[in-house]
Amino acid sequence: MKKILVLLLLLPVVVSYAQEGQKINAGFKYLFGWHYTLSQIGNPGVIAADIGYEFDFVPFFGVNAGFGGGGFTQRVGLGGLRGDNLVYKGSFFSLHISPKFYLPIKYEEKIDRSHYIFIENKFAYNRLNWNFDRLSNKGQSIHHEFEYVIKAGYQYPVGRSFSIAAWLGYSTLDYYKSGIVEFDKKLKTSTPIEIGIGFSYIFKYGKKNI
Protein backbone atom coordinates (compact mmCIF):
# COMPACT_ATOMS: atom_id res chain seq x y z
CA MET A 1 0.00 0.00 0.00
CA LYS A 2 2.85 2.37 0.85
CA LYS A 3 4.51 1.68 -2.51
CA ILE A 4 1.32 2.56 -4.35
CA LEU A 5 1.02 5.84 -2.44
CA VAL A 6 4.62 6.72 -3.28
CA LEU A 7 4.00 6.07 -6.99
CA LEU A 8 0.87 8.21 -6.93
CA LEU A 9 2.82 11.04 -5.32
CA LEU A 10 5.66 10.79 -7.83
CA LEU A 11 3.44 10.64 -10.92
CA PRO A 12 2.44 14.34 -10.85
CA VAL A 13 6.12 15.25 -10.49
CA VAL A 14 7.04 13.25 -13.60
CA VAL A 15 4.25 14.61 -15.80
CA SER A 16 4.84 18.17 -14.64
CA TYR A 17 7.82 18.39 -16.97
CA ALA A 18 7.22 20.04 -20.29
CA GLN A 19 6.51 17.86 -23.29
CA GLU A 20 9.40 18.30 -25.72
CA GLY A 21 7.12 18.60 -28.75
CA GLN A 22 8.26 18.22 -32.36
CA LYS A 23 11.93 18.17 -33.23
CA ILE A 24 14.55 17.32 -35.80
CA ASN A 25 17.18 14.78 -34.72
CA ALA A 26 20.57 14.19 -36.34
CA GLY A 27 23.18 11.71 -35.19
CA PHE A 28 26.49 10.03 -35.88
CA LYS A 29 27.32 6.50 -34.83
CA TYR A 30 30.06 3.90 -34.91
CA LEU A 31 29.34 0.16 -34.74
CA PHE A 32 31.92 -2.51 -34.04
CA GLY A 33 32.61 -5.90 -32.46
CA TRP A 34 35.48 -7.63 -30.68
CA HIS A 35 35.31 -10.93 -32.56
CA TYR A 36 38.93 -10.91 -33.75
CA THR A 37 40.76 -8.87 -31.12
CA LEU A 38 43.69 -11.31 -30.95
CA SER A 39 43.68 -12.52 -34.56
CA GLN A 40 44.94 -11.34 -37.94
CA ILE A 41 41.43 -10.58 -39.08
CA GLY A 42 40.35 -7.00 -38.48
CA ASN A 43 37.15 -6.33 -36.60
CA PRO A 44 34.32 -5.11 -38.84
CA GLY A 45 33.38 -1.47 -38.44
CA VAL A 46 30.52 0.79 -39.48
CA ILE A 47 30.42 4.59 -39.59
CA ALA A 48 27.03 6.14 -40.27
CA ALA A 49 24.81 9.18 -39.86
CA ASP A 50 21.06 9.65 -39.83
CA ILE A 51 18.41 12.33 -39.57
CA GLY A 52 14.83 12.09 -38.41
CA TYR A 53 11.65 13.78 -37.25
CA GLU A 54 10.42 13.09 -33.73
CA PHE A 55 6.97 13.69 -32.31
CA ASP A 56 6.55 13.43 -28.56
CA PHE A 57 3.02 12.27 -27.80
CA VAL A 58 3.41 12.65 -24.03
CA PRO A 59 6.31 13.86 -21.82
CA PHE A 60 7.76 10.36 -21.48
CA PHE A 61 7.13 8.87 -24.95
CA GLY A 62 7.92 9.87 -28.53
CA VAL A 63 8.43 8.32 -31.96
CA ASN A 64 11.27 9.18 -34.32
CA ALA A 65 11.18 8.35 -38.05
CA GLY A 66 13.90 9.05 -40.56
CA PHE A 67 16.66 7.82 -42.85
CA GLY A 68 20.41 7.45 -42.85
CA GLY A 69 23.43 5.94 -44.48
CA GLY A 70 27.08 5.13 -44.11
CA GLY A 71 29.86 2.71 -44.91
CA PHE A 72 31.34 -0.51 -43.56
CA THR A 73 34.62 -2.34 -44.00
CA GLN A 74 36.68 -5.25 -42.69
CA ARG A 75 40.26 -6.35 -43.27
CA VAL A 76 40.77 -10.08 -43.73
CA GLY A 77 44.35 -11.16 -42.94
CA LEU A 78 45.84 -13.99 -44.96
CA GLY A 79 49.08 -15.50 -43.71
CA GLY A 80 51.49 -13.56 -41.55
CA LEU A 81 52.53 -10.84 -43.97
CA ARG A 82 51.27 -7.33 -43.43
CA GLY A 83 50.69 -6.89 -47.14
CA ASP A 84 48.62 -10.04 -47.50
CA ASN A 85 45.37 -8.34 -46.60
CA LEU A 86 42.13 -8.39 -48.47
CA VAL A 87 39.37 -5.94 -47.73
CA TYR A 88 35.66 -6.03 -48.31
CA LYS A 89 33.71 -2.84 -47.97
CA GLY A 90 30.44 -1.26 -48.94
CA SER A 91 27.81 1.34 -48.24
CA PHE A 92 24.21 1.28 -47.11
CA PHE A 93 21.02 3.30 -46.98
CA SER A 94 18.38 2.78 -44.29
CA LEU A 95 14.88 3.80 -43.27
CA HIS A 96 13.92 3.59 -39.63
CA ILE A 97 11.25 4.17 -37.01
CA SER A 98 12.13 4.40 -33.33
CA PRO A 99 9.81 4.50 -30.31
CA LYS A 100 11.58 6.30 -27.43
CA PHE A 101 10.87 6.32 -23.71
CA TYR A 102 12.12 9.22 -21.58
CA LEU A 103 12.71 9.59 -17.86
CA PRO A 104 13.42 13.13 -16.57
CA ILE A 105 16.21 13.23 -14.00
CA LYS A 106 16.84 16.97 -13.58
CA TYR A 107 14.93 20.15 -14.36
CA GLU A 108 16.59 23.37 -15.55
CA GLU A 109 14.24 26.14 -14.48
CA LYS A 110 16.23 28.83 -16.27
CA ILE A 111 15.60 27.31 -19.71
CA ASP A 112 12.43 25.41 -18.75
CA ARG A 113 13.81 22.08 -19.93
CA SER A 114 14.77 18.76 -18.44
CA HIS A 115 17.70 16.37 -18.54
CA TYR A 116 16.59 12.90 -19.65
CA ILE A 117 17.78 9.36 -19.75
CA PHE A 118 16.09 7.40 -22.51
CA ILE A 119 15.54 3.96 -23.98
CA GLU A 120 15.11 3.74 -27.76
CA ASN A 121 13.93 0.77 -29.81
CA LYS A 122 14.96 1.20 -33.43
CA PHE A 123 13.52 -0.82 -36.32
CA ALA A 124 15.40 -0.29 -39.60
CA TYR A 125 15.31 -1.52 -43.18
CA ASN A 126 18.80 -1.49 -44.74
CA ARG A 127 19.88 -1.65 -48.37
CA LEU A 128 23.50 -2.83 -48.42
CA ASN A 129 25.77 -2.38 -51.42
CA TRP A 130 28.76 -4.73 -51.18
CA ASN A 131 32.04 -4.30 -53.05
CA PHE A 132 33.91 -7.61 -53.39
CA ASP A 133 36.50 -6.51 -55.96
CA ARG A 134 39.43 -6.74 -53.54
CA LEU A 135 38.13 -9.95 -52.02
CA SER A 136 36.94 -12.26 -54.77
CA ASN A 137 36.67 -10.20 -57.98
CA LYS A 138 32.90 -10.62 -57.94
CA GLY A 139 32.15 -6.92 -58.23
CA GLN A 140 29.21 -5.42 -56.40
CA SER A 141 26.32 -7.15 -54.74
CA ILE A 142 23.14 -5.63 -53.29
CA HIS A 143 21.36 -7.10 -50.29
CA HIS A 144 18.50 -6.08 -48.01
CA GLU A 145 18.32 -6.68 -44.29
CA PHE A 146 16.14 -5.82 -41.31
CA GLU A 147 17.88 -4.47 -38.22
CA TYR A 148 16.82 -3.98 -34.61
CA VAL A 149 18.75 -1.74 -32.23
CA ILE A 150 18.11 -1.07 -28.56
CA LYS A 151 19.83 2.00 -27.14
CA ALA A 152 20.19 3.60 -23.72
CA GLY A 153 21.32 7.19 -23.55
CA TYR A 154 21.42 10.58 -21.88
CA GLN A 155 19.99 13.82 -23.31
CA TYR A 156 21.42 17.15 -22.14
CA PRO A 157 19.56 20.40 -22.93
CA VAL A 158 21.61 23.22 -24.46
CA GLY A 159 19.48 26.33 -24.36
CA ARG A 160 15.77 26.53 -25.03
CA SER A 161 15.66 24.61 -28.31
CA PHE A 162 18.81 22.52 -28.67
CA SER A 163 20.01 19.37 -26.93
CA ILE A 164 22.87 16.90 -27.18
CA ALA A 165 22.54 13.16 -26.61
CA ALA A 166 24.95 10.26 -26.26
CA TRP A 167 24.09 6.57 -26.23
CA LEU A 168 25.28 2.98 -26.12
CA GLY A 169 23.37 0.32 -28.00
CA TYR A 170 23.14 -3.26 -29.24
CA SER A 171 22.51 -3.94 -32.94
CA THR A 172 21.43 -7.13 -34.70
CA LEU A 173 22.92 -6.14 -38.07
CA ASP A 174 25.03 -9.05 -39.36
CA TYR A 175 26.78 -8.92 -42.73
CA TYR A 176 27.17 -12.69 -42.65
CA LYS A 177 23.50 -12.89 -43.64
CA SER A 178 23.86 -10.26 -46.32
CA GLY A 179 26.59 -11.35 -48.68
CA ILE A 180 29.95 -12.21 -47.14
CA VAL A 181 28.70 -15.78 -46.88
CA GLU A 182 29.71 -15.99 -50.55
CA PHE A 183 33.35 -15.75 -49.48
CA ASP A 184 33.78 -17.50 -46.14
CA LYS A 185 31.07 -18.82 -43.85
CA LYS A 186 33.43 -18.75 -40.87
CA LEU A 187 33.77 -14.97 -40.84
CA LYS A 188 31.85 -13.24 -38.06
CA THR A 189 30.69 -10.02 -39.61
CA SER A 190 28.24 -8.62 -37.10
CA THR A 191 28.77 -5.26 -35.40
CA PRO A 192 26.72 -5.61 -32.21
CA ILE A 193 28.08 -2.64 -30.24
CA GLU A 194 26.87 0.85 -31.17
CA ILE A 195 28.06 4.15 -29.72
CA GLY A 196 26.73 7.46 -30.91
CA ILE A 197 26.20 11.16 -30.40
CA GLY A 198 23.18 13.12 -31.55
CA PHE A 199 21.74 16.62 -31.73
CA SER A 200 18.13 17.78 -31.53
CA TYR A 201 16.34 21.00 -32.43
CA ILE A 202 12.80 21.67 -31.19
CA PHE A 203 10.83 23.63 -33.76
CA LYS A 204 7.42 23.28 -32.13
CA TYR A 205 6.99 22.99 -28.39
CA GLY A 206 4.58 20.61 -26.77
CA LYS A 207 2.17 21.22 -23.96
CA LYS A 208 3.30 21.61 -20.40
CA ASN A 209 1.42 19.45 -17.94
CA ILE A 210 1.18 20.89 -14.43
Domain containing 90 — which CATH number? 2.40.160.20
- Cβ-proximal residues to 178 (8 Å cutoff; 6+ apart), any chain: 128, 130, 143, 145
Residue 210, domain member (yes or no) = no
- Residue 176's CB is within 10 A of a number of other CB atoms, namely 15
Query: What sections of the chain are H helices per DSSP?
Result: 2-15
Q: How many CA atoms lie within 13 A of 1 on its CB side?
A: 0
Give residue 195's pLDDT: 96
Number of structural domains in the chain: 1
Give residue 165's pLDDT: 97
Give residue 90's pLDDT: 80
Give residue 187's pLDDT: 60
C-alpha span between 97 and 123 (Å, rounded): 6
Give residue 47's pLDDT: 92
Give residue 74's pLDDT: 73
Residue 107, domain member (yes or no) = yes
C-alpha span between 134 and 61 (Å, rounded): 46
Range of the domain at 104: 2-204
Mean pLDDT by 10 residues, the chain (210 residues): 45 48 93 72 84 92 96 65 59 95 91 92 91 57 88 94 96 67 58 93 70
